[in-house]
Structure 1
């Protein structure tokens, strides 16, 4: 892997290249897409991934205080508990050995007996809303750290504020596209980490934001490259 922007550098330190700012809370999206903008291949993002994308994916997880994903992504991608990694020892110093996963869900329509809820080193967080089925909320509260944010659907501003209240200020969102769109529409996105693979997909695959419109100006901060895959880091323009 090499850095090709803003300056050329062979084998950059990935943890340094993606370090969070220390002076404020920060929410980053991490997504992969094809060259024509598809966010998945045959229904899953894994078909677009590469060896370099997987390495960066793991480092971004290690840097984060919490990993956020929508329930649909958790189901489709087969999320399990985050496993401790020896390589994270330095970047997680003073924090739990793994970040918790926070699942955003309106209906609580997933298996609460799954290992994500029964075997997670850091207790899984469930973020839902008042309209979620009452009995399911009671069960979720037993198996997770439950956050209720919003009335008819999850209020993203309330959800992010609740994570901040728990000291989880370095937020990594892994999608999916609908969650990304909601966060962007609420003006909550500080950074986009986007892996772009050399592949054309076409068809009906969603883009990395799929839903509410938003217009957020970004600066291109960095581009890494490996085997034709571009790893772009865009950060929010600082006029915010």
Structure 2
């Protein structure tokens, strides 16, 4: 499995404000790039916090990309994956519609009634871990389901957890011309943070997009 983390952050490294509201950081060129990256992926992954804050759909926008996937014998949209320990995804969330298969990664403590409310023919549950989703076996289960290329779109807690587990192969970050500030505003990698064994990044590319810059790194080891 190949995992790419993709994010847009402000010039001071924030994903959104302390209110955790969706803020437009990038522009049309980067939006098109993200759509192409989604089209190349078998699945797009987010944490439940992103679902609750933004209600994303995570489908493709460009009809040409959809048609290209169909011509290649692939589903029109990549699968969607939500890391959701307690099955907090709202039943009416857009990510649960029939546009694509959705995988819900939950734990053994996830309430059975909540699971039942989310059940549908196009929704697949993966149970891994007791209190928090155990990402390693969960992603092994996704690989067993045929998912080979994965795009992770946030948020910061999930990205940190994936980095901590050594599951990230590439990091692609658009840095926009915006300052957000705030000690409580989410960053690219939240969680507990590293104090030793910091992940080593190798710069793979720099490209100007819109009024910002796209930075691409690969992770060593």
TM-score, normalised by the number of residues in structure 2: 0.88
CA deviation profile, 1:56-100 (whole Å, cap 9, x unmatched): 111111111000001110121221262564221336623211101
Question: What is the total number of aligned residue pairs between the two structures?
Answer: 213
Of 107, 122, 126, the match for 1:147: 126
How far is the alpha carbon of 1:227 from its aligned partner? 3.6
Of 113, 123, 129, the match for 2:101: 123
| Distance in 2, Cα, partners of 1:84 & 1:45 | 19
Contact 1:140 1:146 in 2 (8 A): no
Which shifted more, 175-184 or 208-217?
208-217
Residues 196, 29 of structure 1: CA spacing in aligned structure 2 closer, same or farther, 3 A cutoff? same
- 1:73 matched to 2:50? The reply is yes
How far is the alpha carbon of 1:109 from its aligned partner? 1.6
- Extract unaligned runs of 5+ from structure 2: none
Contact 1:107 1:133 in 2 (8 A): yes
How far is the alpha carbon of 1:226 from its aligned partner? 2.5
Identify the residue that residue 47 of structure 1 maps to in structure 2: 24
Identify the residue that residue 35 of structure 1 maps to in structure 2: 11
TM-score, normalised by the number of residues in structure 1: 0.82
- Extract unaligned runs of 5+ from structure 1: 1-24
Identify the residue that residue 223 of structure 1 maps to in structure 2: 206
Q: Secondary structure of 1:54's partner?
A: helix
Q: Which has the higher contact order (CA 8 A, sep 6+)?
A: 2
How far is the alpha carbon of 1:167 from its aligned partner? 0.8
Which shifted more, 168-177 or 75-84?
75-84
RMSD: 1.9
Identify the residue that residue 37 of structure 2 maps to in structure 1: 60
Q: Secondary structure of 1:90's partner?
A: helix
How far is the alpha carbon of 1:126 from its aligned partner? 0.7
How far is the alpha carbon of 1:35 from its aligned partner? 0.9
